[in-house]
Amino acid sequence: MCRKILGTILIFVSVLIHAQEVVITVFDADLAIPLEGAAVYYNGQQYACDSDGQVTVAVPDNQSAVIQVTYPGYESVRQVIPPDNDAVTVQLTLGGMLENAELVLEVARPDGGNETHTGRSVSIAGEALRRTAEIGIVEDIMTSIKLLPGVGYSGMFNAQPSIRGGEPGDLMAVMDGFYIENPYHWGGSMSIFDPRMVESAKLSHGVFSARYGHTTAGLLEVTSRKPSSLATELEVGISSSATNLRMSFPLNGKGGITVMGKLTYWDPFVWLVQLLAPALRSVVEEIDYVNAVSVAPYIRNTAFSGNYRFTDDLELTANGYFGGDGVGTDYQNPNSRMKFTWDNMIGFVTTGAAYTPRPTMIVRGRAGVGFHNQAAIGNVQNWVSQQYQKGFVDEYPNLEDGTKSEYNWGELLGIKAGEDYRYANQTDFSLKNSTFNTQFRGDFDWDIGKGFLFASGAQLLYNRWSSTVDQITWPSVYRPVFSEVIPGYPYIAVASVPTQWKTYTHNEALFSSLYSVMEWNNPDLKLGAELGLRVDHLLYTGDGFSINTVPVLNPRLNVDYNLFKNRGIVDSVDLTAGTGLFSSLSHNDMSFIDKDSGLHDFDLKPARTFTNIIGAKVDFLAQYTFNIEAYYKYGFDRSYTTRQYTWTSDERTDTTGIINYFFDGQAHMFGFDFMLQKKASRFIDGWISYSFNVARYRDPLSIDSEGYYQDWYYPSFHRFHNLNVVLNYKPTNKFSIAARLSYASGALRNYSSGGTIASFPVFAENPDKTGNYDYDSEKQMYVKNKDGNGRYSLVQRYYQLDREFEQARDGFTIPVDLKFSWFNFNKAGKTQSEMYLAIENVFAFLKTRRTNNTTFNNYTGVEEPGSDVASYSLPIPMISFGFKWSY
């Protein structure tokens, strides 16, 4: 197996392009001079013109190709390259709008929203985005993002990966300039970004521009697909799990409107797995969980985007999204039952305008509103029937002075070895969250001249949260009880009591930001720099309280240097270095703050990260690109919480949880990652990415399970190594094979070892009143219940004295996905169809040992070996098929 994988990688690295090469020449239409540095975009890749205004691009030799050409101060051009053409000339103008059957001029940002910039960001767009995202049961651009360098492995159903050691929930998403704090379906399993609504996606995980903030880990910039201003477009996709529809209409040649929708139906898949469950049970133990699905997972959404150019200098855009998702389960076996329902709705509408008062200036404005509603209701019950063990019954417990009691547990408690007892634990919870937000931002860019570009802007973000939580757990917290509850044993005994967490919060936050940026590039593009400063401030209010914060300054600096160009097989070598500060505040922490949290003005602090990065990018003539970056990030003022319990009744059987907030957490994150990419070609393309990361966190006032202040630790999501191989092989223009292979080293698991084993009794409250004890409040002691309907169960528990708590790593993970596609298109290139068969998690049936370390069973007192568990997200491969047609 390893030999085949290595062979595939070597083939990928060594194969050269045999596609048709087209020489593109770009010059000023009025002055007839070549435009050195003009950017040509094709199939998600960027190419820079040389001093003669020329660049060579490889395109399929039997199909039409569309390129986009941009240059600062000029209008961008989209032009069709007919089949069998080996040279194309593109003219750029400073003003006006020209249209014909094959040429469209549109104003756009110089980078086209599609630039990969060493030390700042990595982008994926066009065919590369669609090939990696349009696969499987749910098509999602996060499937592509998770294959990029610097992104930690998170599994199939987790769209919140760790970015270079950062906390998974701190990845901020921006769609066309609008912040979307929680853009997920199924509680973070999938993102809302369908590949059909996205033109490009840029992951900024370095020292990115001060234009954006509200994150310390990374920024996901999503650019929506622009409708055609000339042609009507239609895309239809029907698969085994979803139906997609996208329509685009032109508006008098000055803009267009795009509408899309998606409807998922997992019912056939769930039904099929339930049908096969009896045959698969011997191979996959977890298959029974599929039988518990009461409401098949579903997603329903619709999105629209539009733009209209009123004049050559003024354009209006609008975007919107509305979607919902849900799932329901009802799992039951002889010992447990779990009922759970989830409903989620999210939506937003934004509008923006871009105005060019002069050819060297552009002013942008954007405003929008959004909402997010979540509701989860669940009940979890477990019933355990056991017997008192002879070793427990015959044990003479230790007394406070270190001597042994004259009575053993059996005599003290009135129990015998082999006697049956039953206990239950239960959790009931109800969660409702409602969020409303509105945003305004204005941006100004000015090309001063002589290589200088000045930018500044202001942003206002208002959030309103309403959260209701009602949760009770039996049993949960152990506490000492009165010594006389056990006659003849006047020392330590414990009771297990329910804990309840019930809260309602209604909070508001007003974020305000200012930024200023100065960019400079020398005339020969040998040296460049970007200096920016961002200022963020928060005012936080709620029922009966108001908290002001100290404004935070986030300066950022990047320096780029071109080492050389055109030497042998190397087209260009670029170096970069950057340093900067970033800040963010966690919505999960803030939404539950209330007047009893004990926070006052300036106590609330945003989390900060001091990021430093160096990188290098090498472009080869054979259309290969190699990018490598090393980084160190220091996190400080991180927020974290602890839970404190208080007794709230005379019987001391009820507790209430109180959240304590702290803002002194720290983190060290460092590592490196690289990406070797083969740009789009006739036969084979794709990339290899590798990431190495070390992340150590510290929450100074957090208490560990032994009662000590917590020391530095690896977070649960941390993995040292992540490798991704993405291949797209096209033996003919009508058939392709796409493959994704990933390798991820093990995640963390806590375990304990060593120490002397001792036992103790616990009076655990039974939610279903099937215990063998009751509590006599007058006598203040527990008394035997012979009918089996007592409120409490006497449970035998074991613990290890002087045990050591350690962390071990699970086994590695190697998910493999395959997609086979058959294409058909007419000679005019107006219609195209695709049939595909996809298999995700090909090796799902394989098992890997989690760890060789043992775990201690508190109910039996036995050291148990590490268990064998599946290394993948689902216990069976996910097979999907479908048909797509576009016009």
pLDDT tens figures, 147-184 = 999 999 888 788 899 999 999 888 899 998 899 988 99
Q: What tokens does 715 get? A: 């977070």
Residues 6+ apart with CB under 8 A from 316: 255, 307, 308, 309, 310, 351, 352, 353
Residue pair 434/398 in contact by the 8 Å Cβ criterion: no
Segment 324-334 mean pLDDT: 83
- Residue 662 φ/ψ, nearest 5 degrees: -135, 150
Q: How far is Cα 171 from Cα 151, in angstroms, rounded to an integer?
A: 11
Q: What tokens does 95 get? A: 């003003």
Q: How far is Cα 68 from Cα 90, in angstroms, rounded to an integer?
A: 10
Poorest-pLDDT segment among 255-259, 704-708, 819-823: 704-708
Segment 758-762 mean pLDDT: 74
pLDDT at 229 > cutoff 60:
yes
pLDDT at 210 > cutoff 90:
yes
Segment 258-275 mean pLDDT: 80
Residues 6+ apart with CB under 8 A from 362: 354, 355, 356, 444, 445
Q: Give one word for 314, left, alpha or beta, with left for phi > 0 and alpha for psi -120 to 50.
A: beta
Segment 193-219 mean pLDDT: 91
Residue pair 764/793 in contact by the 8 Å Cβ criterion: yes
Residues 6+ apart with CB under 8 A from 423: 383, 384, 764, 766, 770, 771, 793, 795
pLDDT tens digit sequence for 525-583:
789 999 999 999 999 998 888 999 999 999 999 999 999 888 888 888 999 999 999 99
The percent of residues in the chain predicted with pLDDT above 90, rounded, is: 30
Segment 665-670 mean pLDDT: 95
Poorest-pLDDT segment among 125-139, 598-612, 652-666: 652-666
Task: Please give the sequence-ordered ranges of beta strands (E in DSSP) within 699-747, or none if there are none.
Answer: 721-732, 735-744
Segment 513-521 mean pLDDT: 94
Q: How far is Cα 241 from Cα 232, in angstroms, rounded to an integer?
A: 27
Strand 545-548 relative to strand 527-542: parallel, antiparallel, unpaired?
Answer: antiparallel
* Cα angle: 42, vertex 140, 721; to 5 degrees: 90
* Confidence (pLDDT) at 800: 65
pLDDT tens digit sequence for 602-632:
988 899 999 999 999 999 877 789 999 999 9
Segment 277-283 mean pLDDT: 64
**781 in helix, strand or coil?**
strand
Helices (H) and strands (E) in the chain, counts: 8, 48
- Residue 575 φ/ψ, nearest 5 degrees: -115, 150
Q: What tokens does 147 get? A: 């294959």
pLDDT band for 296, please (50, 70, 90 cuts): confident
Q: How far is Cα 368 from Cα 351, in angstroms, rounded to an integer?
A: 6
- 480 vs 820, higher pLDDT: 820
* Confidence (pLDDT) at 280: 64
Residue pair 219/170 in contact by the 8 Å Cβ criterion: no
- 108 vs 639, higher pLDDT: 639
Poorest-pLDDT segment among 36-40, 667-671, 686-690: 36-40
pLDDT at 803 > cutoff 60:
no
Say how many CA atoms lie within 13 Å of 764 toward its Cβ.
26
Q: What tokens does 318 get? A: 């609008």
Q: How far is Cα 738 from Cα 837, in angstroms, rounded to an integer?
A: 10
Poorest-pLDDT segment among 501-510, 678-687, 802-811: 802-811
pLDDT tens digit sequence for 27-56:
877 666 788 888 888 765 678 888 778 888
Residue pair 739/184 in contact by the 8 Å Cβ criterion: no
Cβ neighbour number for residue 637 with a 10 Å cutoff: 16
pLDDT at 593 > cutoff 50:
yes
Q: What tokens does 39 get? A: 């950017």
* Confidence (pLDDT) at 490: 39
Q: How far is Cα 34 from Cα 26, in angstroms, rounded to an integer?
A: 6
Cβ neighbour number for residue 642 with a 10 Å cutoff: 14
Q: How far is Cα 843 from Cα 808, in angstroms, rounded to an integer?
A: 24
Q: How far is Cα 643 from Cα 562, in angstroms, rounded to an integer?
A: 53
pLDDT tens digit sequence for 333-372:
777 788 888 899 999 999 999 999 988 899 999 999 999 9
* Confidence (pLDDT) at 340: 86
Cβ neighbour number for residue 505 with a 10 Å cutoff: 19
Q: What tokens does 719 get? A: 């993995």
Task: Please give the sequence-ordered ranges of beta strands (E in DSSP) within 522-623, or none if there are none.
Answer: 527-542, 545-548, 552-567, 570-584, 607-620
* Confidence (pLDDT) at 330: 84
pLDDT band for 858, please (50, 70, 90 cuts): low
Provide long-range contacts, Cβ within 8 A and 24+ apart, for 706-710.
Answer: 706/805
Q: How far is Cα 595 from Cα 566, in angstroms, rounded to an integer?
A: 65
**Which of 668, 797, 673, 676 is CA-nearest to residue 725?**
676
Q: How far is Cα 694 from Cα 359, in angstroms, rounded to an integer?
A: 47
pLDDT tens digit sequence for 68-123:
888 876 777 777 777 667 788 888 876 433 333 333 333 333 333 445 789 899 98
* Confidence (pLDDT) at 487: 43
Q: How far is Cα 267 from Cα 137, in angstroms, rounded to an integer?
A: 12
* Confidence (pLDDT) at 64: 64
**Which of 128, 302, 125, 303 is CA-nearest to residue 199?**
125
Distance spanning both ends of the chain, measured CA to CA: 42
**408 in helix, strand or coil?**
coil
* Confidence (pLDDT) at 351: 95
CA distances from 288 to 280, 338, 617 (A): 9, 13, 50
**867 in helix, strand or coil?**
coil
* Confidence (pLDDT) at 62: 57
Q: Give one word for 62, left, alpha or beta, with left for phi > 0 and alpha for psi -120 to 50.
A: alpha
**Which of 354, 353, 303, 351 is CA-nearest to residue 324?**
303
pLDDT tens digit sequence for 396-447:
877 666 677 788 888 877 888 888 887 777 888 898 989 999 999 999 999 9
pTM of the model: 0.77
Q: How far is Cα 257 from Cα 496, in angstroms, rounded to an integer?
A: 61
Q: What share of the chain is helix, strand, coil (3-state, %, to 5)?
A: 10, 60, 35
Strand 452-480 relative to strand 494-521: parallel, antiparallel, unpaired?
Answer: antiparallel
Q: Give one word for 561, left, alpha or beta, with left for phi > 0 and alpha for psi -120 to 50.
A: beta
Residue pair 548/601 in contact by the 8 Å Cβ criterion: yes
Distance of CA 550 to the CA centre of its chain: 29
Total residue length of the chain: 887
* Confidence (pLDDT) at 76: 73
Q: How far is Cα 733 from Cα 683, in angstroms, rounded to an integer?
A: 9
Task: Please give the sequence-ordered ranges of beta strands (E in DSSP) within 754-791, or none if there are none.
Answer: 756-765, 773-776, 781-784
pLDDT tens digit sequence for 180-190:
988 999 888 88
Name the burial class of residue 6, with classes exposed (0-12), middle (13-18) and buried (19+) by CB atoms within 10 angstroms of its CB: exposed
Poorest-pLDDT segment among 257-266, 318-327, 490-499, 831-840: 490-499
**Which of 747, 628, 627 is CA-nearest to residue 152?**
747
Segment 779-788 mean pLDDT: 77
- 15 vs 633, higher pLDDT: 633
Q: How far is Cα 743 from Cα 719, in angstroms, rounded to an integer?
A: 11
pLDDT band for 633, please (50, 70, 90 cuts): very high
* Confidence (pLDDT) at 561: 94
Segment 748-752 mean pLDDT: 63
Per-residue burial over 147-158, b = 16 or more CB atoms within 10 Å of its CB, e = otherwise: bbbbbbbbbbeb
Q: Give one word for 677, left, alpha or beta, with left for phi > 0 and alpha for psi -120 to 50.
A: beta
Strand 832-840 relative to strand 878-886: parallel, antiparallel, unpaired?
Answer: antiparallel
pLDDT tens digit sequence for 472-496:
776 554 444 434 444 444 334 455 5
* Confidence (pLDDT) at 148: 93
* Confidence (pLDDT) at 804: 56
Cβ neighbour number for residue 113 with a 10 Å cutoff: 20
pLDDT band for 212, please (50, 70, 90 cuts): very high
* Confidence (pLDDT) at 5: 32
* Confidence (pLDDT) at 543: 86
* Confidence (pLDDT) at 869: 41
* Confidence (pLDDT) at 93: 73
In the block, residue with structure tokens 């469950």: 277
Q: What is the mean pLDDT of the chain?
A: 80
